[in-house]
Structures are given as C-alpha cells and as structure tokens.
Amino acid sequence: MITGEGIVKTFKQRGNVLGAREVRALRGVDFAIPKGGAASFIGESGCGKTTLGRIIAGLETYDEGELTLDGVPMSSLKPKQRQPHFRKIQLIHQDPYSALNPTRTIHQTLNAPLTLRAKQTGRSKAWIEERAAEVLSMVGLDPGSVLARYPHQLSGGMRQRVVIARALTVDPEMLVADEAVSMIDVSLRLGILALLKDLRERLGVAVLFITHDVATSRYIGDDGELYVIYRGQVVERGPVDTVIADPVHPYTQSLLSAIPVLHGLERPGEQPVTPVESMEAGQDESGCLFAPRCPFRGERCADERPLLQVTEGIPQEHACFYPERRSVVARPMSEV
Amino acid sequence: MSSAILETTSTAATMRRNFWRGVWRVMKRKPSRLVGAVIVLGFTFMGVFGPMFYPEVLPRDTSQLYAPMSAEHWFGTDGQGRDVLAQVITGSRYVLLSALVTAVITVVLGTAIGLFSGFKRGRWDTVLMRLTDMKLTIPGLPLLLVLSTVWSFGSALEMGLLLGLLGWGGVARAVRSQTLSLRERGFIEAARGLGLSTTHIVGKELLPSMAPYIAMNMLIAVTGAVYAQVGLFFLGVLPYEADNWGVMLNLSVFGGGALTTTAALPYMLAPLLAILLLTLGIVLVVDAMDEIFNPRLREE
Amino acid sequence: MPGQAPGVRIDGLTVVYKTPAGELPAVRDVALTLEPGTITGIVGESGSGKSTLALSLLNAVQPPGRIAAGSVDIDGLGDVVGLRGEELRKARGKHVGYVFQAAQNSLNPLKTVGKQVLDLGRSHGVEDLRGLVRDARELLGRMGLDGARVLDSHQHELSGGMRQRVGIMLALVLNAHLVVLDEPTTALDMITQANILKIVREVHAERGLTTLVITHDIGVVAEVADRLAVMYGGRLVEQGPTRQVLGDPRHPYTKGLIRAIPRLTGDIAEARALPGRPPTLTTVPERGCVFRDRCELRMDVCDTDDPAAVAHGDRIVACHAVKVREHA
C-alpha cells in the first residue's frame, strides 16, 4: 500500500537579482494505491504528474506532506534508510533509448542488479543466470536471442520490455510507467500495455500509469483509479471507467474532448468542451486554478478554490463548484 | 530454456572476443587507421628496445662532423661525429616514457577528479572546480622555467610526473561536464533506483560511456607532453643530462647553425621528423576511438 | 483566393539510401495524387518512409539518400525531381511551405520571430518587407496569437503550441499554396493538439491550400484529412477517402493498425497489438510483400511478388489477399 497525504513540491527557479521565481509543482496531493492495485495520473505536461511519479519512486524529494510505503512514513527515515523502501518502486522511463546503457549488453544490464540481489540473499551464480532468463521470458522476450545483444540492436518496443525486465529483477511492488508507450511504434503500444496488465495479474505488481493520453490508462485494468491533475492539484478522482464515461470537471471534459475522433468509425460526443487557450502569463493564483480557462466558470470560481470533494449523485470525487455531466467522449458507430 | 543458460555462462568470454574482433573491424575500415597504429606501435618498439641496440655512449667519429646523409649515416652525424639516427632512437626512450607518464597522470587524475566532482556535485564540486580553475590559471611554461632552475629532470619519470601534475585541469573540466550530462540519463537514474552501488554506477555505467573521450584525451596528452618537454630542452633551460630530441634540436640550431647553413640540417630534421611522425600516428589512431568504444559504430 | 491550390502527382517514386549494405530503398515505387484543395494524410510507423516521401516533394532528400526514380509533378512548377540549385531554393517557401518535424525546436534561438520572417523574405527577394511582416502578424492573429508580441519574441519565450503556430506561419507567409506538415502535433498536449488541428483545417480552407500531413497518429489524420494514405516499409499499402478507410479498412496492415489504437470507449478486449515489429531500412524484404511477416492473410505468392496497387473507385489497395470490392 502506497499513500500520499498533502504532498507539496515547489521548485525554485534561479531568477534574476530581484529574487528567485517559485513554481508550485504540487499543491497538496492525496493518493492511495493498494497492493497490486492500479492507478493513473493524467494531465497536460507541466501539471505535476511526472514530479509526483518521481517522488513516489524516490527520485525526487517533497517539501510538505507525507509519503507512506507499506505503513512506513518516509519522512521518519534518513535518506540512506529510504533506499530499500524505494527499491520496491521501479520507474519505467518514457524513453527506452536513454534508459539502457548503450555500452552494456542486455546480459550485463540485468546481471548487475541480480548480482547484488544474489549477494544479499546468499544465492548462487547459477541463480543469477536463471533469473535473468526468467525475467526476460516474463516480458515476452526470448532470452537466447536477446541476452548477448546491445540496446541499439533492439527495437523500441523490445527495449521497453528489457527496461521492464530490469525493473522486475528486484521484485518490485509497484511499477511507475511514465508515458511508457509514447515513444513506441503505434502498432506495438498495446503490447506493452497488455504486458503491464499481465504482470499485474500474474505477479501482483501494482501499476501506476502516468500519461497525457487518457485512453491508454484504460488498459491497466478496470479496477484502476484515475487522478486528473491540473497545475499541481487533483481535480477529479474516481474509477477509470466512471471518470471517462461521465466526467464532471470541465478540465477532464476538455482533455477528453481533445482526443481525436476516428471519423468513420466513431461519432463525436455531443457536448465537447473547448477550454480557453492557456496563456503562460495568465497564471492566476487565487480562486479555482482552472477558472481562467473554464468556459463554465461561475461567481464563486474567481475567489474561492474548490477542493476535492464528494457531492450528491456523483460517484467520483471532483474539485468543481458547478459539476455537471457532459457527453464529450466519442462513441463507436456500432454502439449508437 | 536450459540452452539459453548454457549460452550465457560463456557470454563474458564471447563478448571480450567480440570486442577485439570489433576493434579489428573498425581499424580495417580506413587504411589510415592501420597506418597510424603501425606508427604508434613502431615508436613503442623504438622506445622499449631501441636503446638496447646501441652502446651506452655512442661512438664518435671525429673525421665526420656534420656529415651529410649517407647509407652509413641515414641522417648524417652531429657536431661530435655521432650518428643522428642512433641519437633519435636512444633519445626516444626518455621522450616517450615521460610522455606516457604524463598522459597516464593527466588522464587518471583528470578523470578521477572530474568524475567525483560531477557525480557528487554540491560542496565537493565547488571546492574541486575552484581548485581546477586555480590550477588552470597557473601559466605552465614560466612555472617550468622556474622549476628547472632547481631541478634538472635527469629522469624521464620526474619529467612526466611534473608535466602530468600540470596538465590534468582541462581533462577534469571536460570529464566533469560529461558526467553532469550523463548522470541525467535514464540508465543512471535506473541504476540508482535499483540500489546499485556508487562504485558500480561510476565504474561500470559512467566510465565506459566516456571511454572514447578519455582515450582520445590520453593520446592527445602524449603529443602535448612531447611538445612540452622537447620545447624545454630546445630552449636550453634544462641541462643536457638526458638524451632527448629537444637537446638535438637545440644543438643543431644553436651549435650547428642549422637555420643558416645546410650542414646541420639533417641533424635538425631527424628529431623534427620523429615528432611529426609520432603526432601523425596518434592523430590517425584517435580517429578510430569513437567507433571502437561505441558498440553501435563498432558493429556496423 | 481559392483556385490557386496546386495539384500534385507523384508517380513511381523511389528514394534510396546508401548504406554499407548497398543502396536500400526507403520509399519504393510510390504513386500518390494530391487533388487541389484537399488535405491528404500519410500515416506510417517509424521507418515507413513517410518523412522521406515528404522531403521528396521539395526534392530535399539529403545524402546519403537520393531520388532514384519517378517524378513529382506539381502544378505551376513542373517535375521538381528535375529542379536544381537556385530554382529549387526559390520553389521551397514560395510554392511549397514546409513545417518541419519538431517545428517547436526549429526556430533560431538567437533571433526574434520577426527577424526570422525578414530573413526569409530577403532570401526570397521579397520587395515589400513591410507587407510581409504585416502578413505574418495577420496570420499569427488568425491563429489566435497576439501577432505583434510573438514577432518580438524569442523562441524560449513561446510555448510549444505557440512555436508550432509560428512554424505554420513561416510556411505560409510567402504565400505558398502547397503545405507539408511533418508530425505537426508530436510532443504537444492533447488540448494544444486539438487546437493546432483546428487551425490547420481552418487555414487550409481560408487560404485555398493543398495540404499534406505526415504523422504516425491515425487520430490526427482522422481529424483533418480528406484522404488517407497508409505507408509501410517504404510502400503505400492503402489509400482512399479517410472515413471510408477508417470505417472499412481493406489492407491487413491498416486493419491491424486501427485495431491497435487504444480507444476511450468500446470493448478494450477488441484492441490488440500487431505481432512482430515494423521493418527498418535494412530488414525490409527485397522481394515480395513488405508486410507479409506480420500478416495473418499471408499466402505463398506474398513471398515472391510485390503486390501491385490496384484501384477500385476511390480506394487503392496493394495486397494479394484483398479482392477490392467495387465501391459505389
């Protein structure tokens, strides 16, 4: 079980003589991912979803709040002591091309963490070799043909599988996939998504999916939770299928409306939402963060910030004063 | 699956074999690289075994002062009637040995400091880089001139040590910036996430990625060191205790007047030619470094 | 202004790249017609040759690549394969506007956008530079930006979506009527992408353009294109009106590709990845169908004969296994 409570992260950008500029990446985010569960953070680039993923994987620190891994609050530990906890959470990078060392063979890449593991648990050398072959088979690669290769000899899809195999060498409890398929050929993306889902079911590994492409988050399992993040705040949270089918926050609705419709195969939703274009200068700090772009903003939005809440008749949590269901998602022709 | 396991147990050996096969392939790709390698090997041979073919003190033939090039004396003789070629060969050991020592010290020290600085960042980085900056601001030649008044540099090792201690700054800076950019790469982050030791990350992940760079710097440091010491001896600031190409240049110009008369010309040209050839050899070999250490370029 | 949109006829186009293994075709025997005033979308994965095809439109394939055969006939320009030097340089920009892949990063970081517009004008011998800047400002305004401010900005002061618009402006400002957009929305967020696609559609209609969009994302083509062409391994395997191709794909690769797209609604079990991997320059088979290794309809003839592109009505398919029905 991995939980976060009120996680705040502020980046200080080196400014001019007059002082540094602060960028609020996360403004008090709560989340909970059960053992073997699935969750997905979605939002535009710069919304803080990647920062949150990196905090969860122990690659970034947070300023306020508490991250708890299996009941152990991370702030109670010294940095050195946190390492074994964070090892249980493995990050799958977006770019499989930079995630593997180009000068090392797949064999070398997998052996390093396995050797460490063997030393800790008193296992033999034969176990290392066996396990390396095993994790490769788990991700659908043929160990015999892959082990002796260098990364450049593999396709993008195969590399991403190797990256996942490397993460599996430490028996992780959760995989954090940060845009893990965005750099992979379209025809192969579903293969990686299916693999993550399969690992979840077979090994009980939790999966956290970070993406700007909402559709891919459906493929990690229908019990997954969706977190829609806007400017460091969770604005809508609920079961994946519920949020996609019936989004209530105007930002979620804008995101879903923006997904291209396969005309000829699908018909677009009847009430698409087009937000006001984001202008960097108009970063308003008071009131609802989305209000400056929101086509439906009301009186309360300018001064008061809505917090994540449950309201009557709406199954998911949302942070909007005027939640309303709108039909924004395209549906297959065959369904209508 | 058992066959797969059998296959992997010998991978280390196979890989080493593949590496050398790859090196050969890279060298073969351009004939100039082979030429370079032959030249460098030739000089190595000359430095190691060359002096063994000659007596400790070269014989003088007072009837043949500044003799022209002939079958007997390929590059003529010097003002004392000694064979010039023999001097180039016996002098090569000092030159090459000290250059090698310089290169090793430059690269080891520069790489270590650069890696440490770039990897640790923070306070260590600041301190080490200030130190490097200070070191870089010390003008090398004047310092050498000052030091030469108290130190005679009779041994090649001393010479190499000194030049090495003066030369690591540039490499340290360059390696540091390489480290800074590499440590942001996904595979370094992944290694840390997997709990791999810093020794592993630096030694096995970072260092090999910088290998072509380091190897290039090492070779270039060799030429730099040759120029530096030959220059010192040529200027005559060091006493003629050692056999050295620089001493030859000095004597040919200031003793034999090679710049004004033709008699001592071969005497001057021989060491110059040696330096030129060595530089050429190294430049030709450096060309292959990138391809040797990059698996993608090596295999293609 | 409509009526100026040029038509383009590509025929038998083959582009080869020199490799250690000899000259290998990145684009092989491609025939494609861009009707005046239409938006055509080319979809393909990495290594399909789609970007090479786009570059051929300007005769801008860089060594080690070269156009080995075929013609690219553009109305008002003739066959660009035969153009050289100064003629070619003039044609780029004036007749054919090109928005590069990653246009977000193709601006000069040291110069303001306005200066770059002036540079462009000067290199094409534009007399009325004042008018050119005015056009640029209007175009940017049309795309929802504050034109004057953007012209005064450097690249780093603009967001990804704004840079992409600047890229489109630079392609159009010399009044080109044939525009090529290479991956116009890659690396942009969904909402920005939707806005850019809307702009592409609107500007296309208002200025009377012929537009070619190159992308790996079928969704992008589905949103903007009238016609869709699917590339695989350097070949055009299927083309036709977008809605027809999406609603009723014929070529097994098109079918597989559409089935492999994660969708927001519908049964997720129906979506499946294509087996195997797309070919690269060196792994494309020399003989026979380029797709056969991943094809579920593979027959003996596919190993030996390259299927010809057969036209039936509006649809063109290159597959032995598909008997294209006559389409009304």
DSSP C220-238: HHHHH-SEEEEEETTEEEE
Alpha carbon of A168: minimum distance to chain C alpha carbons (Å):
23
d(CA C94, CA C89): 9
Comparing CA positions, the residue from A150, A54, A130, A178 lying closest to residue B193 is A54
d(CA A111, CA C12): 50
ipTM at complex level: 0.86
**Record: contact A185-C266, CB cut-off 8 A:** no
- Write the pLDDT tens digit of every residue in C195-216: 889 989 999 999 899 999 999 9
Higher pLDDT, B261 or C164: C164
- Write the pLDDT tens digit of every residue in A288-334: 999 888 999 888 998 889 999 999 889 999 999 999 999 888 888 87
pLDDT at C143: 85
Interface of A with B in 24-63 (CB under 8 A): 57-59
Q: What is the dihedral of CA C300, C305, C306, C311, to 10 degrees?
A: -90
Neighbours of B199 (CB within 10 A): 8
Q: How far apart are the first and last CA of chain C?
A: 33
A61, A103, A147: best to mutate for the B interface, most B CBs within 10 A: A103
C5: its two tokens:
């949109």
Measured in degrees and rounded to the nearest 5, phi and psi for residue B156 equal -60, -35
Neighbours of A333 (CB within 10 A): 13
State mean pLDDT over C268-275.
84
d(CA C40, CA C320): 25
Alpha carbon of C236: minimum distance to chain A alpha carbons (Å):
17
> Contacts of residue B204 in chain A, CB cutoff 8 Å?
104, 108, 112
Q: What is the dihedral of CA B215, B216, B222, B225, to 10 degrees?
A: -120
C82: its two tokens:
């035969």
Interface of C with A in 135-194 (CB under 8 A): 144, 159, 161, 189-194
Q: Is cis: bond before C64, omega within 30 of 0?
A: yes
- Write the pLDDT tens digit of every residue in A81-112: 998 899 999 999 888 889 999 989 999 999 99
pLDDT at A114: 94
B103: its two tokens:
């290169």
d(CA C162, CA C182): 17
Parallel, antiparallel, or unpaired: how do β-strands C235-241 and C227-232 relate? antiparallel
Length of chain C: 328
d(CA B40, CA B225): 15
- Write the pLDDT tens digit of every residue in C114-161: 999 999 899 888 889 999 999 999 999 888 888 899 999 988 888 888
Report the residue of chain B nearest A90, measured CA to CA: B193
**Can you tell me whether residue C60 is helix, strand or coil?**
coil
- Write the pLDDT tens digit of every residue in A116-147: 999 988 898 899 999 999 999 999 999 988 99
- Write the pLDDT tens digit of every residue in B71-84: 777 777 777 778 88
Q: Is a pLDDT exceeding 70 seen at residue A149? A: yes
Structure confidence at residue A19 as a pLDDT band (50, 70, 90):
low
pLDDT at B241: 62
Alpha carbon of C2: minimum distance to chain A alpha carbons (Å):
26
Q: Which chains touch A (3 or more CB pairs under 8 A)?
A: B, C
Place of tokens 């799958």: A92
The angle that helices B140-150 and B207-235 make with each other, rounded to 10 degrees, is 60
Alpha carbon of B281: minimum distance to chain A alpha carbons (Å):
27
pLDDT at C86: 84
d(CA A161, CA A177): 12
Is residue A266 within 8 A of residue A281, CB to CB? The reply is no
Measured in degrees and rounded to the nearest 5, phi and psi for residue C14 equal -130, 125
The answer to whether the Cα torsion of C155, C156, C162, C163 is positive or negative is positive
Q: Is cis: bond before C2, omega within 30 of 0?
A: no
Q: Is a pLDDT exceeding 80 seen at residue C96? A: yes
Largest Cα separation within chain C, whole Å, is 64
Alpha carbon of C51: minimum distance to chain A alpha carbons (Å):
15
**Record: contact C194-A244, CB cut-off 8 A:** no
Look over chain A and give the mean of its residue pLDDT values, rounded to a whole number. 89
Q: Which chains touch B (3 or more CB pairs under 8 A)?
A: A
d(CA C214, CA C39): 11
Q: Is C293 on the interface with A (CB under 8 A)?
A: no
pLDDT in 10s for each residue of chain B, 300 residues = 344 444 444 566 777 787 888 888 888 888 899 999 999 999 999 888 888 888 877 777 777 777 777 777 777 777 777 888 888 888 888 888 989 999 999 999 999 999 988 888 888 888 888 888 888 887 777 787 787 777 777 777 888 888 888 888 888 888 999 999 888 888 999 998 898 988 899 988 998 888 888 888 888 888 888 888 888 888 877 766 667 788 888 888 887 776 777 777 778 888 889 999 999 999 898 888 888 888 888 876
**Record: contact A112-B209, CB cut-off 8 A:** no
The angle that helices B31-49 and B265-293 make with each other, rounded to 10 degrees, is 120
What class, spelled out in words, does domain B48-299 have in CATH?
mainly alpha
Higher pLDDT, A276 or C254: C254
Report the residue of chain B nearest A178, measured CA to CA: B186
Neighbours of B269 (CB within 10 A): 18
Q: Is B255 exposed, middle or buried (0-12, 13-18, 19+ CB in 10 A)?
A: middle
Place of tokens 């249980």: A88
H helices of B50-137, where? 84-120, 122-137
| C-alpha Rg value of chain C to the nearest Å | 20
DSSP symbol at B77: B
Higher pLDDT, A163 or A17: A163
Report the residue of chain B nearest A102, measured CA to CA: B295
The amino acid that residue A280 corresponds to is E
* Sequence spans of domains, chain A: 1-88+206-245, 247-335
Q: Is A144 exposed, middle or buried (0-12, 13-18, 19+ CB in 10 A)?
A: middle
Question: How many interchain CB pairs under 8 A, A with C?
Answer: 136
A54, A89, A101: best to mutate for the B interface, most B CBs within 10 A: A101
Q: Is B14 on the interface with A (CB under 8 A)?
A: yes
**Can you tell me whether residue C134 is helix, strand or coil?**
helix
pTM of the entire structure?
0.86
Q: In sequence order, what DSSP letters do the residues of C158-188 get, joined into one string?
A: S-HHHHHHHHHHHHHTT--SEEEEESTTTTS
B150: its two tokens:
């108290």
Length of chain B: 300
Of the candidates B187, B193, B211, the beta carbon closest to that of A100 is on B187
Of the candidates B3, B200, B295, the beta carbon closest to that of A144 is on B3
DSSP symbol at A334: G
d(CA B270, CA B176): 40
A39: its two tokens:
């969750």
pLDDT at A17: 59
Of the candidates C193, C219, C274, the beta carbon closest to that of A262 is on C219
Is residue B296 within 8 A of residue A152, CB to CB? The reply is yes
State mean pLDDT over A181-204.
90
Comparing CA positions, the residue from B114, B121, B103 lying closest to residue B160 is B103
d(CA C8, CA C59): 13
> Contacts of residue A116 in chain B, CB cutoff 8 Å?
194-197
Parallel, antiparallel, or unpaired: how do β-strands C8-19 and C22-34 relate? antiparallel
**Can you tell me whether residue A222 is helix, strand or coil?**
coil
The amino acid that residue C249 corresponds to is P
> Contacts of residue B186 in chain A, CB cutoff 8 Å?
93, 95, 98-100
pLDDT at B112: 92
Measured in degrees and rounded to the nearest 5, phi and psi for residue A228 equal -95, 120
> Contacts of residue A137 in chain B, CB cutoff 8 Å?
1
pLDDT at C324: 45
pLDDT at A14: 65
Length of chain A: 336
d(CA B278, CA B45): 13
> Contacts of residue C260 in chain A, CB cutoff 8 Å?
186-190
Place of tokens 């991250």: A67
Is residue C6 within 8 A of residue C76, CB to CB? The reply is yes
d(CA A249, CA A252): 5
Of the candidates A216, A265, A275, the beta carbon closest to that of C191 is on A275
**Can you tell me whether residue C54 is helix, strand or coil?**
helix
- Write the pLDDT tens digit of every residue in C224-253: 999 999 999 999 999 999 999 999 999 999
**Can you tell me whether residue A261 is helix, strand or coil?**
coil
**Record: contact A260-C220, CB cut-off 8 A:** yes
**Record: contact A99-B14, CB cut-off 8 A:** no
Place of tokens 């393909």: C44
DSSP symbol at C200: H
* Sequence spans of domains, chain B: 48-299
C251: its two tokens:
């070529």
Beta-carbon contacts of A146 under 8 Å, excluding residues fewer than 6 positions away, are A106, A136, A154, A158, A162
**Record: contact B209-A91, CB cut-off 8 A:** no
Q: Is C225 on the interface with A (CB under 8 A)?
A: no
Is residue A103 within 8 A of residue B209, CB to CB? The reply is yes
Q: Is a pLDDT exceeding 60 seen at residue C302? A: yes
> Contacts of residue A214 in chain C, CB cutoff 8 Å?
190, 264
Q: Per CATH, the architecture of A1-88+206-245 is what?
A: 3-Layer(aba) Sandwich (3.40)
Is residue A182 within 8 A of residue A148, CB to CB? The reply is no
Is residue A296 within 8 A of residue A253, CB to CB? The reply is no
Measured in degrees and rounded to the nearest 5, phi and psi for residue A218 equal -70, -25
Report the residue of chain C nearest A192, measured CA to CA: C273
